[in-house]
Structures are given as structure tokens and as C-alpha cells.
Structure 1
Amino acid sequence: MNTDLMDYDEVVSRFDPVLGLEVHVELSTRTKMFCGCPTEFGAEPNTQVCPVCLGLPGSLPVVNRLAVESAIRIGLALNCEIVEWCRFARKNYFYPDMPKNFQISQYDEPIAVNGWLDLELADGEVVRIGIERAHMEEDTGKSLHVGGHTGRIHGADYSLLDYNRSGIPLIEIVTKPVSGTGARAPEVARAYVTALRDLLRGLDVSDVRMDQGSLRCDANVSLMPKGAAEFGTRTETKNINSLRSVERAVRYEMTRQAAVLAGGGTVYQETRHFDEADGSTSAGRRKETSEDYRYFPEPDLVPVAPDREWVERLRSSLPAPPWERRKRIQSDWGLSDPELRDLVNAGAVDLVAATVDAGAAPAEARSWWVSYLAQQANNRGVELAELPITPAQVAAVIAMVGAGTLTTALARNVVDGVLAGEGEPADVVAKRDLAVVSDDSALYAAVDQALSAQPDVAEKIRGGKVAAAGAIVGAVMKATKGQADAKRVRELILERCS
């Protein structure tokens, strides 16, 4: 990474950042936006396609009603106005993963406009983000560039195309310009995508898996010199696929653009790619304007005019926002404001709640998610929700500890096995032979052997120095590979030495 960067404190002392966040959400409908092809993730390439989503001559699109309903529910949840009439347009551009050479989207007549979303930052400050629009469109296919070291088309040996994703329903949510956040701009960007993800998950319109691409963020960043009246030239960092990366990308662009401007250079309006490895961005293509896309109304689809009674029925069916649910959880679990904030900042509230729903006690569920599992997520560089373990599986491990089948140390071993893809907790226990040794006869034998091996320690215990039993407990735990109940072992040692 050879790009010159300005120190972050200097950036915010000299410039005011302006953000614009565009979030693409794949809807969890069973079929695609304009055809009946399935949308299952992970299917064999090019097995979920038809003439419509491949753009073959003579094929005609038909709008997915559930996708329209989901768009309305998203718009309502974002406090948007649901328009009485909207229509689709053709967005024309060439790229190999666009089989029609145009994308069916919405241009100047989206379904939802002029909303807002309130964010609570880590210290409790609330920031309101204006929502410009939420519109319906179809996703593109997926390109895989093989060879080279960047994973992009330049330098690749060849490219593969998978059209399974082509035509999956998308909602694009576009903010109004976000200014006035100063040094907190990267934090605000992350908090916005986090709150939006939580809201969408609560609506049950998408699985919002950033690791699988069902939630993707494009971050527009520009800088204004302090006191300036006009926005600077923006760049758009595309397809950021984790919350942490949203924050890193915004921060990097601020330091890069500031260095360019301070050096007398020009910031170009362009798309940029984010590098997960070092947190940098690199230039993509010079950004097109709307005229370059030659938008015109989609001739094969009639306009969409949502019935007002339908809209109001959907409004009345919306679940409570996640932040209201958190307040109820805080009351039910007896959490302090800092404890709740820690859960929110860790992205653990819904995970803990689901673990409790699966039968675990709140305190134990909270302990697992914000300690051991948070550590594992940090080690892997992923969000907590992206760990390959479910709340039900965590609850099962907690139940085994409660039943005496596992010690806490063994339970961590079981969790490691689940994270490694070895199956359900019970399967990991069986495969790794991790169950607690509960047979007293076997424990007596291990205790006797440890006492015989350390006669001086045994004598101290018999003489009343009970604290010395810890050395024997350690020896027994080592002999049983940690599969003994330390409390029961201690009881047996004292019994033998009485």
C-alpha cells in the first residue's frame, strides 16, 4: 500500500466528511424478482436459471408480488412515504454478469422516499440518518476471476460466470448526504449499517448475511475544507461485506482523500475496491452519471400502484423495532445501561435472546456470546453473527454443562468442534470423547494414583492443610484429560485423606 495518507486527527481538524451510504439487500423470497427460478444460496453454478433471468430473446418478466410487499414493509420501517404509483426502468450498461446488458431497476420513480433512521452510538448519542429512497431492482450474476493476485479481472487468467444470482430481488436503500459527524463519520457509517441490518432481520425480509452477499454496502465519501459551502468530489467504495470493513473503508478514504487534497491533487469521482487484507481502497472505474446509463421506462412491465388499504395493513403488521425490543430485554434480564450497550456493540443482543429462547439462562447465554465466542469472532476477523454456530447449538452446550455432562473447559472444546464444522454439540462430544468422567470408581482410582505419586502432599492434606488438595486435583484433571468434575474430585480427595 504505497498511497500517501494523512493522520486522522489532522484530517478531521482540516476537513468535514460527508457520507452517502447505499445498501443493497437481497430479499429472502423463494423465487426471483421477475421469474420463477429458485433463489437458494450455494446451488451448483448456472442451475437456477431460465430464459427470463438469462435475458433470452422473447422472454418476458413478471413482478414478484412478495418482493413488492417486502419493499413496502422496508420503506414503512424506515419511516418512508410509500408512493401511490411507481414504475421500473432499464439501466443500460455492459458487463459479463449482466446477461441482458441492462438491469431492471427503478430510477426517478422509486416505491419509497423521504424517510429516516435513528442510530444510537456507543456512548448513547443519537444520530438521525435521512433516507433518500428505497427502490426495487434485480441482482446481477457473479463473476469469478481466476488467476492473478487481486481476484479481479485485471491480471486474471480467465473468468467464470454464475448466473444463479441474476434476477434475485434486491432493495437498494440510499441515504441522503450525511454531514456533521466529524471524527465519528466511520463509526456512524458502521452504526447505520448495523442498525439497518438489525431492522431488516426483524422484518424477516432477508437473512442479511454480509458474508454471503445478501447485504452489501457501497460507501460514498467526500471531504469539504473547513468553512466550505459545497460538497467535495465523492468516491464510491463498492460491495463492502462486513460491518468492520464499512468503518475501515470510510476511515481510509478520509485519510487518502485528505492527503490528495492537501498535496494539491484532484479527487476523482470513481468507484473503488476495498482490500480486506490491509484495509485500503484502490481505484476501479471513473464513475458514470445517470445519463451514461440511458435510463428509460421498462416497456415489458406495467407500473406498480400499491393499494392504500394494503399499505396500511402492512404498516399495522410491522414488528416493534429492535431497539424497543432491547429495552424490554434490558428490563426482563435486569441489565444496566452499560451492560446492554456492551451487548449492542458486540452485535450479541439477538444472539443472546435466541439462545435464551432455546432454553439457556440469560446470564449464561450472555457470558458465552460476549466472552468466549466474541474472542473466537475476533480471532477470525468476522462479526459475531457470522460465526458458524447457532444460538440453539450454544444453548445445547450450556445445557450439557448444567447437566454435569461437560465442564466449562470441555464445553469450550465442544464449541471449537462446532465452529470447525464437526457437527452438532452432541456429535462433537462423541467424536472427541469429551464427556465428563462421572464414574466414582474411575475417579477414586485416579485420586489414589495421584495421592500415591505425591505422598508429601497427601500428608499435608491429612495434617489439615486442605489448600494442598489443589495439587492433587490438578494431577487428577491432567490424568482424566480435563474430563473430571473438579469439585467432585476435591470431595473424593478430602474423603480419602480424612
Structure 2
Amino acid sequence: MSAQAAEKDLAVVIGLEVHVQLETATKIFCGCSTDAADGEEPNSRTCPTCLGLPGSLPVLNEAAVEAAVKIAKALDAEIPERTTFHRKNYYYPDLPKNFQLTQYDAPICADGELEISVEGMRRTIGITRAHLEEDPGSLEHVGGGIDTADYTLVDYNRAGTPLVEIVTEPDFRSPAETRAFLAKLEEVLEYLGVFDPERDGSLRVDANISMVSGDAVAEDGRIDERALSAANRTEVKNISSHKGAEKALAYEVTRQRNAIRRGREIEQETRHWDEARGITVSMRTKEAEKDYRYFREADLPPLAVSGWRDRIPIPELPDARRERFREEYGLDAESASKLTSTKEVADFFEDVAAEFDPDLAATWVADNLLGELHYRDMEITDVTDRLEEFTRLIELVDAEEVTVKNAEEVLLRTMLDEGLAPDEIVDREELGKTEGEAVAAAVTEAIEEHPEAVEDYHAGEGGAINFLVGQVMQKTGGSADPGDVNQLLRDRLDG
């Protein structure tokens, strides 16, 4: 972009290439395991095929194709009659064959979309294509970052892991929109069961950024094609999270704006996101499509996939489930959103709601359980095998055998911290609900011990009754019902 363009408002144009590792037992073209064990030896999950040794032949993993079809359906994309594989030729240390098996002009799906919401505004992001390919190996830069390391180690254990690369249209106008898109995409992929966000490197993002004159942006957000093709494009690679994407792109947008204001040209280049330093670093000039010298992979015949759409089902997706929760269970938008944040959370809630009133189930799962899990850096998957214990906890509260306060502050927390069942905790901590004469005695003691609070109550001080309730709760070890205590105190004080 020329310096003259800096005199006008600048618009940000961003497109994403999202690389998603698929959850399959073996690699995409060989039988090597994709299960990365803790402390595994480098280059131990390899074979002649994923290392590209002479005489080895690829065999396509059917599970990877099925996962890609599920993604296509979730993105409302078109699935062609046939899909083919090509060799993408380039040299890089983590690519043992010096070419990557990928899909070029016949991807497994194209022309999809995904709707996102940013600050209450809904936008539809176009999906240009999604294609299958193999993952390269991984690099470990020793003694610094990519540009400062003393040396670099290569591990080919990851080489050959199945990927789906999802390429968007240049529809993003801010880094915040890219973060919202990636969060939504990750949510959809989890629901499909084709993706594990806990796996290291499971989602990696390359972002293409251009700056164009604000005059090139139409009211509907579309960009003038001539202005976009004239603008130099910077690619930022190696972004590993949706939060990281927003940070990387915010930095890069600022860098480009400042360069343009100083009258400098934006170079067409590839840059590396250095997360530790929070900056992008120039890696190389940006390759053009012709530089990859694509040609058909002769060892993999074309694959007919159009019929797979009908025979491969997908589950209810997050937006649909969210809307159903609002209609079926009468939940507000915030609760429905929390309870569909992951498929596991949604399934857990529905299991609880089958036993109790939906409002009660929503309160305990969305507010109490998820809050305590978040505080402990735990996930719902850590407690899904304890569903019966959790429903027993709610049953104790619903039957008024323990107070809500004790259930929230003692029972639930002890269940998570010590792994005990609720009835064990009730017995050990003597949490059975205190009623009748014991509560009445505690009310009498509180009134007699705090005459000044009684005077404040009669003088109209609103906080006095709360103070007295607290004293009674303390005397009963929190096992009295606060509402009953409040009423007992008022009956005594007003009588």
C-alpha cells in the first residue's frame, strides 16, 4: 500500500487458514498411532510411509474422510462428487518427504459458512474450502525463538497426523471477530467429536492480513476486489489459540498501520508469531501458488465422496441445542449458553434435568458446579462419571435434608476436593438440617446475646435482622434454613 493511502481511513481485511488435527487412532496415510504419550521418545511413532522412504505407499484413513465429511455438513458446505490428492512441493525441515500430501483443486468440501456473534452483532463468515492433508513434524527451537535459537531439533512423531485445513473468505474486519470465529469453530468441532482441544497443537492458525482504503469497503462489509488484489498481503503463521490469534492480529494491524503512516510499503511476506515476546517476526517472502508446483498424487486414486453426506450423521450442533434448551427447558439466554458451552456439559445437564426441575438443574450445573470446576481448573469431563453422586446432592437439597448453604459451601466443595460421596460428607460433618426446638433455642440465644441488634431492628435498621440470622446460622453450624430462621426471628421480635 502506498503512503498516499495512509491519508485515508484504513480498513482491515483478514482471512484465516485453520489447521485442525482430527481425532483418529492412526495417521492419515499409514498405521502409526496418533496417541502422543507423555515423555515419548522423539521419532518413535514413525514408519517408512510417514517418513517418505523409497518404496513406501500411502493408504488413506477412512476415519479421517468421515471426520472431514462431518465438518462439511456442520459448515453447510458442498461436497463434490470426487475428491483428489496432490503433492505440494516445498522444503522445510519438518517435512520429511519435501512435499506434503494435500488436496488442491478438488477439496473435500467448499462454499460453506459459519455464523458468529461479536458484541451482539451477528455475522456470517464464508468458508472458501476445507481439505484433508497430512501434518508435518514439529520443531523445537533450543536456546531462543525461531530467529534466535542456538539450534533446532526435529521430531517426526506428528508427521502424518490427519489435518483438515479450513480456509475462510477474507470476511474478518477486526482481530476480535477472528477470536469469536475460532471459539465458535472449536465449539462445533468438539460437538462433532472430531477434535480434542487438549491435544498439543490440535488447532493452529495462519492469518492473512491486508490493509485497504476505507473507501473500498461497501456498506454490507464487502471489499472491492480490485483494491484487495492491489494490496500486499502479510501472512502470520504459528498461532495456536483463538486468544493468541486476537493478540497476534492486533499486533500486526498496529504494525502495519504505523508503517503506512510513516510512508513505508507493506511487504508481501510471511511472519512468525512469537507468543513469548508478543510480536511478529519476518520469516521469508510470501510464496505464490505456483511456487508449490502442485501435481496429482499417483498413488492415491480419486475418492467418490458425495454419497457419504447422507450416510454419515452429525449430532445436534451448539446453536440448535442452545435454542432447544431455551424452548424446552425455559432457560434464559445466559444459562442456555453456559449449558451448551461443550457437548459434555450439555449432556450432563440433560441427565440432571431428567431427574429434577429444569430451573433447579440449571442453577446447580451452570452456576454451582461449573463455577467450582472453573475455580479448580477442572473440566466437566473430570466429574461425568460421578453423575449419580451429583444428583444425590441435589436430591438432599430438594428434600430439605441439608441446607442450600451447606450443600454449596461444604458438600459440593468437599466432593470435588476429596472425592467423597455426599452422604459420607453429611455424616462426617454432621450436616443434617437442624429444625424445630434446636433452631428455636438458637434464635433465643441470639436475641438474648445481642440486645443492641434487637434495638436496631425495632429502630428500622435493615441490617440488624441479617446480623441476627447470621448468628443463628453460626450457632447451628449452617444447618438451619436461613429463610426459616429469618421468619422465626421476625415472629419473636414483632410478637
**TM-score, with length taken from structure 1:** 0.74
The CA distance in 2 between the partners of 1:282 and 1:428, in whole Å, is 58
Which residue of 72, 81, 92 maps to 1:75? Answer: 72
Q: CA deviation at 1:356?
A: 2.0
Q: Deviations over 1:307-337 (max 9, x none)?
A: 54444434xx3445543333322211335xx
Consecutive unaligned residues of structure 1, counting only runs of 5 or more, are 1-9, 381-385
How many angstroms does 1:19 deviate by? 1.7
- Deviation, 1:274, is 4.0
Whole-angstrom distance in 2 between the partners of 1:40 and 1:324: 32
Structure 2 partner of 1:241: 240
Please say if residues 403 and 433 of structure 2, whose CA atoms lie closer than 8 Å, have aligned partners that are also in contact: no
468-477 or 371-380, larger mean C-alpha shift: 371-380
Q: Give the conservation status (yes or no) of the 8 Å contact 2:85–2:101.
A: yes
Larger of the two Rg values belongs to structure: 2
- Conserved 8 A contact 2:77-2:113: no
Q: Secondary structure at the match of 2:246?
A: helix
**2: CA distance, partners of 1:156 / 1:480:** 63
Give 1:170 shift.
0.7
What is aligned with 2:393?
Answer: 400
Displacement of 1:172 after TM fit?
Answer: 0.5
Give the alignment of 1:333-372 within 5 angstroms. 333-335=329-331, 339-340=332-333, 344=337, 348=341, 353-360=346-353, 361-364=357-360, 366-367=362-363
SS at match of 2:260: helix
Offset, 1:261: 1.2
Task: Judge conservation of contact 2:17–2:168 (CA < 8 Å) in 1.
Answer: yes
CA shift at 1:135, angstroms? 0.8
Q: Offset of 1:269 from its aligned partner?
A: 2.7
Q: Which residue of 1 aligns with 2:296?
A: 297
SS at match of 1:121: strand
Counterpart of 2:286?
A: 287
2: CA distance, partners of 1:377 / 1:145: 35
Q: For residues 181-202 of structure 1, give each alpha carbon's deviation from its aligned partner in whole angstroms, at most 9, with x where no partner exists.
A: 65xx334323332333333333
Aligned counterparts of 2:430 and 2:7: Cα–Cα separation in 1: 55
How far apart are 1:410 and its partner, in Å?
A: 5.9
8 Å CA contact retained: 1:406, 1:434: no
Instruction: Provide the rounded CA distance (Å) in 2 between the counterparts of 1:306 and 1:341.
Output: 43
1:91/1:294 contact within 8 Å kept: yes
C-alpha offsets along residues 150-208 of structure 1, whole Å, 9 cap, x if unaligned? xx344446655544432221110111232xx65xx33432333233333333333223x
| Alignment of 1:173 onto 2:161 | no
Q: Please, which moves more after superposition, 223-232 or 283-292? A: 283-292
- Cα offset for 1:105? 1.6
Paired residues of 1:218 and 1:238 also in contact (CA < 8 A): yes
Which residue of 78, 83, 88 corresponds with 2:85?
88
CA distance in 2, matches of 1:370, 1:451: 36
How far apart, in 2, do the equivalents of 1:61 and 1:36 lie?
10
Alignment of 1:54-453 (within 5 A): 54-113=51-110, 115-122=111-118, 125-148=121-144, 152-156=145-149, 161-178=154-171, 182=173, 185-207=174-196, 209=197, 212-227=200-215, 229-231=226-228, 232-274=231-273, 280-299=279-298, 301-306=299-304, 308-314=306-312, 317-335=313-331, 339-340=332-333, 344=337, 348=341, 353-360=346-353, 361-364=357-360, 366-367=362-363, 388-390=379-381, 392=384, 400-401=393-394, 403-404=396-397, 407-408=404-405, 411=408, 422=417, 426=421, 436=431, 438=433, 447=442, 451=446
Q: Indicate how the Cα distance of structure 1 residues 438 and 158 shifts in structure 2: closer, same or farther if over 3 A, else same.
A: farther
Is structure 2 residue 451 aligned with structure 1 residue 456?
A: yes
Taking only the aligned residue pairs, the percentage that are identical comes to 38
What is the distance in 2 between the residues matched to 1:62 and 1:24?
A: 21
Tell me the secondary structure at the aligned position of residue 303 of structure 2.
coil
Q: Distance in 2 between matches of 1:275 and 1:377?
A: 31
> C-alpha deviations, 1:223-244, integer Å up to 9, x for none?
1123354222222233433333
Contact 2:118/2:177 (8 A) holds in 1: no
Match of 2:220 in 1: none
Gaps of 5+ in 2: 217-225
The residue aligned with 2:10 is: 15
Would the aligned equivalents of 2:20 and 2:165 in 1 still touch at CA under 8 Å?
yes
Question: Following TM superposition, by how much is the alpha carbon of 1:33 offset from its aligned partner in structure 2, in angstroms?
Answer: 0.7
Alpha-carbon offset, residue 59 of structure 1: 3.2
CA RMSD of superposed structures (Å): 4.7
Distance 2:57 2:65 in 1: 18
> Equivalents in 2 of 1:278, 1:333: separation in Å?
47
Tell me the secondary structure at the aligned position of residue 81 of structure 1: coil
C-alpha distance in 2, partners of 1:161/1:476? 66
Contact 2:472 2:485 in 1 (8 A): yes
CA–CA separation in structure 1 for the residues paired with 2:466 and 2:64: 63
String of CA shifts for 1:17-44, please: whole Å, max 9, x gaps.
2221111111122221112223235544
Are residues 1:26 and 2:21 paired? Answer: yes
The answer on whether the counterparts of 2:112 and 2:129 sit within 8 Å (CA) in structure 1 is no
Contact 2:13–2:170 under 8 Å retained in 1 = yes
CA contact (8 A) 1:116 1:128 kept: no
CA distance in 1, matches of 2:318, 2:191: 7
**Letter aligned with residue 74 of structure 1:** I
User: What secondary structure is seen at the aligned counterpart in 1 of 2:11?
Assistant: strand
1:225 maps to amino acid = S
What secondary structure does 2:15 align onto? strand
- In the superposition, the TM-score normalised over structure 2's length comes to 0.74
Q: 2:219 is matched with which residue?
A: none
The alignment covers a number of residue pairs equal to 466
> Using a 3 Å threshold, how does the CA distance of structure 1 residues 309 and 485 change in structure 2: closer, same or farther?
same
1:37 equivalent among 32, 42, 55: 32
